[in-house]
Amino acid sequence: MTDPCTRAAELRALRSDLVSGQVPARIRFDREEVEFFKADPAALDREIARMEAECARSQGRRPRYAVIPRFRRY
């Protein structure tokens, strides 16, 4: 398996290409050729977040967590 930091950078580049429409796929049926790209942006975002968390752990940094607001009763 590749380094999670490298993989996160590759996935971010793929996400950027996907958003800008630069990632076509070509399929040829006899004489006809079709270009398309099927992707799930939400799944890609989840994988980027997972790789970034693994990267942070591998470098000894704590992954980012959401701050949960708590109210104190006085």
Which domains are assigned to the chain? 4-58 (3.30.1580)
Averaged in consecutive runs of 10 residues, what is the pLDDT profile of the chain (74 residues)? 83 82 72 74 86 85 67 72
pLDDT value, residue 71? 73
pLDDT value, residue 23? 67
DSSP for 7-47 reads: HHHHHHHHHHHHHHT---EEEEETTEEEEE----HHHHHHH
pLDDT value, residue 18? 79
pLDDT value, residue 24? 67
Q: How far apart are CA 55 and CA 49, in angstroms?
A: 10
Contacts of 27 (CB under 8 A, 6+ apart): 33, 34, 35, 36
Question: Global pTM?
Answer: 0.61
